[in-house]
Amino acid sequence: MLRLAVVGHLARTSGDFNLSDMPGGAGRMDVLCRCVNASFFLSHEFRRDVECYLVLLGGPDSPKTLRFSGEHLRYLSPDERSAGSLIKKALAIPLGEEFRESTPGVQVRRGGLAELLEEHPFAVLDEGGTDVRKIATLPEAYVLSDHLDFTSGDMELLSTRERISVGPLPLHADHAITVLHNEIDRRRSGW
Protein backbone atom coordinates (compact mmCIF):
# COMPACT_ATOMS: atom_id res chain seq x y z
CA MET A 1 0.00 0.00 0.00
CA LEU A 2 1.35 3.43 -0.98
CA ARG A 3 0.03 6.38 1.01
CA LEU A 4 0.27 9.94 -0.29
CA ALA A 5 -0.85 13.03 1.60
CA VAL A 6 -1.06 16.53 0.18
CA VAL A 7 -1.37 19.59 2.40
CA GLY A 8 -3.73 22.15 0.87
CA HIS A 9 -2.86 25.29 2.80
CA LEU A 10 -5.68 27.39 1.39
CA ALA A 11 -8.06 24.61 0.33
CA ARG A 12 -11.68 25.32 1.20
CA THR A 13 -13.23 23.24 3.98
CA SER A 14 -16.83 23.76 2.91
CA GLY A 15 -18.47 22.19 -0.14
CA ASP A 16 -19.90 25.49 -1.31
CA PHE A 17 -17.16 26.13 -3.88
CA ASN A 18 -17.76 26.36 -7.62
CA LEU A 19 -16.25 23.59 -9.76
CA SER A 20 -15.51 26.25 -12.37
CA ASP A 21 -13.47 28.28 -9.88
CA MET A 22 -11.31 25.69 -8.13
CA PRO A 23 -8.06 27.67 -8.58
CA GLY A 24 -9.68 30.79 -7.06
CA GLY A 25 -12.56 30.54 -4.60
CA ALA A 26 -11.75 26.95 -3.64
CA GLY A 27 -8.18 27.82 -2.55
CA ARG A 28 -6.22 25.98 -5.29
CA MET A 29 -8.39 22.88 -4.98
CA ASP A 30 -7.38 22.26 -8.63
CA VAL A 31 -3.87 21.37 -7.41
CA LEU A 32 -5.32 18.81 -4.98
CA CYS A 33 -7.60 17.36 -7.68
CA ARG A 34 -4.61 16.84 -9.96
CA CYS A 35 -2.79 15.12 -7.09
CA VAL A 36 -5.75 12.75 -6.63
CA ASN A 37 -5.68 11.93 -10.34
CA ALA A 38 -1.89 11.46 -10.38
CA SER A 39 -2.19 9.15 -7.36
CA PHE A 40 -4.60 6.73 -9.07
CA PHE A 41 -4.73 6.91 -12.84
CA LEU A 42 -2.71 4.88 -15.29
CA SER A 43 -3.46 5.05 -19.00
CA HIS A 44 -6.13 2.34 -19.03
CA GLU A 45 -5.97 1.17 -15.45
CA PHE A 46 -6.34 2.32 -11.91
CA ARG A 47 -3.89 1.94 -9.02
CA ARG A 48 -5.96 0.13 -6.39
CA ASP A 49 -3.10 -0.17 -3.86
CA VAL A 50 -2.93 3.58 -3.16
CA GLU A 51 -4.50 5.87 -0.58
CA CYS A 52 -4.45 9.61 -1.16
CA TYR A 53 -5.11 11.99 1.74
CA LEU A 54 -5.97 15.65 1.24
CA VAL A 55 -5.37 17.86 4.28
CA LEU A 56 -7.58 20.93 3.84
CA LEU A 57 -6.49 23.99 5.81
CA GLY A 58 -8.51 26.83 4.27
CA GLY A 59 -11.69 28.49 5.56
CA PRO A 60 -14.26 28.27 6.93
CA ASP A 61 -13.85 25.19 9.16
CA SER A 62 -10.29 23.81 9.06
CA PRO A 63 -8.63 21.41 9.47
CA LYS A 64 -10.35 18.58 7.63
CA THR A 65 -8.83 15.50 6.02
CA LEU A 66 -10.18 13.51 3.09
CA ARG A 67 -9.09 9.96 2.31
CA PHE A 68 -9.40 8.48 -1.20
CA SER A 69 -8.92 4.69 -1.05
CA GLY A 70 -8.09 3.09 -4.39
CA GLU A 71 -9.43 -0.27 -3.26
CA HIS A 72 -13.01 1.02 -2.94
CA LEU A 73 -12.97 4.18 -5.05
CA ARG A 74 -15.81 4.73 -7.53
CA TYR A 75 -17.10 7.63 -9.61
CA LEU A 76 -13.63 9.16 -10.16
CA SER A 77 -12.77 9.97 -13.76
CA PRO A 78 -9.53 11.57 -14.90
CA ASP A 79 -10.61 15.19 -15.03
CA GLU A 80 -10.28 17.76 -12.28
CA ARG A 81 -14.00 18.43 -12.00
CA SER A 82 -14.70 14.78 -11.22
CA ALA A 83 -12.33 14.82 -8.22
CA GLY A 84 -13.68 18.26 -7.27
CA SER A 85 -17.21 16.94 -7.28
CA LEU A 86 -16.26 14.05 -4.92
CA ILE A 87 -14.55 16.56 -2.62
CA LYS A 88 -17.66 18.77 -2.57
CA LYS A 89 -19.82 15.76 -1.64
CA ALA A 90 -17.40 14.78 1.14
CA LEU A 91 -17.45 18.29 2.58
CA ALA A 92 -21.26 18.29 2.66
CA ILE A 93 -21.71 15.39 5.12
CA PRO A 94 -21.80 15.78 8.92
CA LEU A 95 -18.36 14.84 10.23
CA GLY A 96 -16.54 13.92 13.41
CA GLU A 97 -13.07 12.82 14.44
CA GLU A 98 -13.34 9.39 12.77
CA PHE A 99 -13.44 8.97 8.98
CA ARG A 100 -16.96 8.74 7.53
CA GLU A 101 -17.69 7.69 3.97
CA SER A 102 -19.35 10.19 1.61
CA THR A 103 -19.15 8.17 -1.64
CA PRO A 104 -17.53 4.76 -2.25
CA GLY A 105 -13.83 5.04 -1.42
CA VAL A 106 -13.98 8.67 -0.21
CA GLN A 107 -14.01 9.49 3.50
CA VAL A 108 -13.69 12.66 5.54
CA ARG A 109 -12.99 13.65 9.15
CA ARG A 110 -11.98 16.61 11.26
CA GLY A 111 -8.24 16.94 11.86
CA GLY A 112 -5.11 17.72 9.95
CA LEU A 113 -1.48 16.79 9.50
CA ALA A 114 -0.70 16.17 13.19
CA GLU A 115 -3.32 13.41 13.42
CA LEU A 116 -2.20 11.83 10.15
CA LEU A 117 1.44 11.76 11.21
CA GLU A 118 0.51 9.80 14.33
CA GLU A 119 -1.10 7.09 12.19
CA HIS A 120 1.43 6.41 9.43
CA PRO A 121 5.22 6.76 9.08
CA PHE A 122 5.13 9.53 6.48
CA ALA A 123 8.33 10.67 4.81
CA VAL A 124 8.44 14.14 3.23
CA LEU A 125 8.72 14.62 -0.53
CA ASP A 126 11.06 17.58 -0.76
CA GLU A 127 13.24 18.75 -3.62
CA GLY A 128 16.05 19.32 -1.11
CA GLY A 129 15.87 15.79 0.29
CA THR A 130 17.97 12.67 -0.37
CA ASP A 131 17.92 11.43 -3.95
CA VAL A 132 15.25 8.70 -4.17
CA ARG A 133 17.64 6.63 -6.30
CA LYS A 134 20.13 6.49 -3.44
CA ILE A 135 17.62 4.99 -0.98
CA ALA A 136 17.62 1.20 -0.76
CA THR A 137 14.21 0.68 0.83
CA LEU A 138 11.61 3.30 0.09
CA PRO A 139 9.00 4.36 2.66
CA GLU A 140 5.35 3.47 2.06
CA ALA A 141 3.94 6.91 2.92
CA TYR A 142 4.82 10.42 1.68
CA VAL A 143 3.55 13.91 2.41
CA LEU A 144 3.72 16.75 -0.11
CA SER A 145 2.83 20.41 -0.04
CA ASP A 146 0.46 22.00 -2.58
CA HIS A 147 1.53 25.04 -4.61
CA LEU A 148 3.06 26.65 -1.50
CA ASP A 149 6.04 25.70 0.60
CA PHE A 150 5.42 23.85 3.87
CA THR A 151 4.79 26.39 6.65
CA SER A 152 6.99 26.67 9.73
CA GLY A 153 4.21 24.85 11.64
CA ASP A 154 4.27 21.99 9.12
CA MET A 155 8.08 21.91 9.28
CA GLU A 156 7.95 21.56 13.05
CA LEU A 157 5.61 18.56 12.76
CA LEU A 158 7.78 17.07 10.00
CA SER A 159 11.18 17.86 11.51
CA THR A 160 12.10 14.26 12.31
CA ARG A 161 10.81 12.73 9.08
CA GLU A 162 12.98 11.38 6.27
CA ARG A 163 13.10 13.85 3.35
CA ILE A 164 13.24 12.42 -0.15
CA SER A 165 13.73 14.13 -3.49
CA VAL A 166 12.61 12.71 -6.84
CA GLY A 167 14.86 15.02 -8.86
CA PRO A 168 16.96 18.17 -8.83
CA LEU A 169 14.24 20.62 -9.89
CA PRO A 170 11.13 21.84 -8.05
CA LEU A 171 8.09 20.14 -9.60
CA HIS A 172 4.37 20.63 -9.32
CA ALA A 173 3.03 18.36 -6.59
CA ASP A 174 1.10 16.10 -9.01
CA HIS A 175 4.19 15.73 -11.19
CA ALA A 176 6.26 14.79 -8.12
CA ILE A 177 3.68 12.04 -7.42
CA THR A 178 4.00 10.75 -10.99
CA VAL A 179 7.79 10.62 -10.77
CA LEU A 180 7.60 8.86 -7.40
CA HIS A 181 5.19 6.28 -8.86
CA ASN A 182 7.66 5.75 -11.70
CA GLU A 183 10.51 5.09 -9.27
CA ILE A 184 8.38 2.60 -7.33
CA ASP A 185 7.07 0.96 -10.53
CA ARG A 186 10.64 0.43 -11.75
CA ARG A 187 11.65 -1.24 -8.50
CA ARG A 188 8.54 -3.41 -8.22
CA SER A 189 8.79 -4.65 -11.80
CA GLY A 190 12.60 -5.03 -11.77
CA TRP A 191 12.65 -2.85 -14.89
Ligand X SMILES: C[S@@+](CC[C@H](N)C(=O)[O-])C[C@H]1O[C@@H](n2cnc3c(N)ncnc32)[C@H](O)[C@@H]1O
Which of these segments, 20-28, 39-47, 105-113, 139-147, binds ligand X (CB under 6 A)? 139-147
Stretch of 56-64, 112-120, 141-149, 154-162 lying at the interface with ligand X (CB under 6 A): 141-149
Structural contact between residues 15 and 90, judged by C-beta atoms closer than 8 angstroms:
yes
Please state, in angstroms and rounded to a whole number, the distance separating the CA atoms of residues 106 and 66: 7
- For 49, 52, 104, 176, the CA distances from 71, given in Å and listed in that order, are 6, 11, 10, 22
Q: Is 171 in the site for ligand X (CB under 6 A)?
A: yes
Instruction: Tell which one of 149, 155, 182, 186 touches ligand X (CB under 6 A).
Output: 149
Position 172 contacts ligand X (CB under 6 A): yes
Binders of ligand X among residues 98 to 137 (CB under 6 A) are 125-127
Closest CB to ligand X among residues 71, 131: 131
What residue ranges bind ligand X (CB under 6 A)? 125-127, 144-145, 147, 149, 165-167, 169-173, 176
